[in-house]
Amino acid sequence: MSAEKARVLVVDDDPDFLEQMRIMLEGAGHEVVDASGVDEAMEMLEEQVPDLAVLDLMMENTDDGFVLAHRIKSAHPDLPVVLVTAVTRETGMEFDLSREGGGWIKADAILAKPIRFEQLRREIERLL
Considering only CA atoms, which of 32, 92, 42, 46 is closest in space to residue 70? 42
Say if residues 65 and 55 touch (Cβ distance below 8 Å).
Answer: yes
pTM, rounded to two decimals: 0.86
| Biggest alpha carbon–alpha carbon distance for the chain | 37
Strand partners for 10 = 34, 54
Q: Across residues 71-81, what is the average pLDDT?
A: 95
Q: Which domains does the chain have, with CATH numbers?
A: 3-123 (3.40.50.2300)
Segment (H or E) for 64:
helix 64-75
pLDDT value at position 2?
56
- Average pLDDT on 89-97 reads 50
pLDDT of 34-59, one tens digit each?
Answer: 999 999 999 999 999 999 999 998 88
Dihedral sign (CA 46, 79, 82, 58) = positive
